[in-house]
Amino acid sequence: MRVFVTGASGFVGSAIVQELLSAGHQVLGMVRSDSAAENITALGAEAHHGNLDDIESIKSGAAVCDAVIHTAFNHDFSKFKDNCETDRRVIEALGSVLAGTARPLVVTSGIGLLNGFNRPVTEDDVPTAGSAVIPRMASEEAAHAATDLGVDTYIMRLPPTVHGEGDHGFVPLVIGIARDKGVSAYIGEGHNRWSAVHRFDAAVLYRLIIEQRPALKVYHAVAEEGIAFREIATTIGEGLQLPTVSKSADEAPAHFGWFTHFAGLDCLASGAKSRAVTGWQPKQTGLIHDLKTGGYFG
């Protein structure tokens, strides 16, 4: 099939493009720049110029494809709520094109929305607050609205860390903070846990969803259910040859800044249903091994 992928040159999106092409699909990848277009064209995909503010370009890309995988998102946390509302508008636009066509739409969300359950969260769990309290809920709210329009919509929740070569997410942020502060840190006992997945494993699950069109509508791309943040911080300290220390809840903001909430996130998660329904089996290296061998400290 021909698949429209937003964020096609991004960390997750580019892995999805490679996975789809290797499985024999055609890819129309949305990109913002000529250099990004060259990169995905070199992989064998077709480039579609557009951005999250150009709704017409997004709609025109979706209109000529058999399926849509939406991964593009502006991760500028200084205007996080605005970016989440932009994502809502993008998903609404995609839904307006796909309504009544039976073509699948996969929307990307985050398992971190389910923080605070004190157990492994599952695909059946839903966030307990609306977008006014948790801005990222906008994506899932828009996905449900698309479903109400008759769109075959799927929600893919990604863990706090999607790792692999070229990672520019949460783990590199923690590494950067450690470099800047001269110590690697965790909060309290550091027992809060992050679930994790390698980007190439996540890409496989995206592909399986659009190929199989299962009845399950929410997926967790979870390869590792929970890695203690203390272990992550210790591995970072060893990689940077810096001491690893505990910060109290009062001390944490001075070390982590705006990232304090995420550094304390307890995000134990299960992807058992996702595996059972699709047959997905993660095969890539785990987060700690990737930290030790994947060039994070180069």
Q: Which of 284, 286, 292 minimizes the C-alpha distance to 19? A: 284
pLDDT at residue 78, as a whole number: 79
Tell me which fold the domain 2-163+195-223 belongs to. Rossmann fold (3.40.50)
How far apart CA 198 and CA 164 sit, in angstroms, is 6
pLDDT at residue 133, as a whole number: 58
Residue 168's CB is within 10 A of a number of other CB atoms, namely 10
Q: What are phi and psi of 106, to 5 degrees?
A: -110, 120
Residue type at position 62: A
Q: Which of 57, 228, 195, 23 minimizes the C-alpha distance to 122? A: 195
Q: Which of 47, 139, 125 minimizes the C-alpha distance to 89? A: 139
How far apart CA 96 and CA 78 sit, in angstroms, is 29
What's CA 262's distance to the chain center, in Å? Answer: 14
The domain ranges of the chain are 2-163+195-223
pLDDT at residue 135, as a whole number: 83
Task: For 221-263, write each residue's pLDDT tens digit.
Answer: 999 999 999 999 999 999 999 999 999 999 999 999 999 999 9
pLDDT at residue 175, as a whole number: 98
- Inter-residue contact 161 to 287 (CB < 8 Å): yes
pTM score, two decimals? 0.95
What's CA 216's distance to the chain center, in Å? Answer: 19
pLDDT at residue 74, as a whole number: 87
- Residues of the chain under the 50 pLDDT cut: none
How far apart CA 200 and CA 39 sit, in angstroms, is 17
C-alpha dihedral, 64 to 201 to 195 to 248, nearest 10°: -90
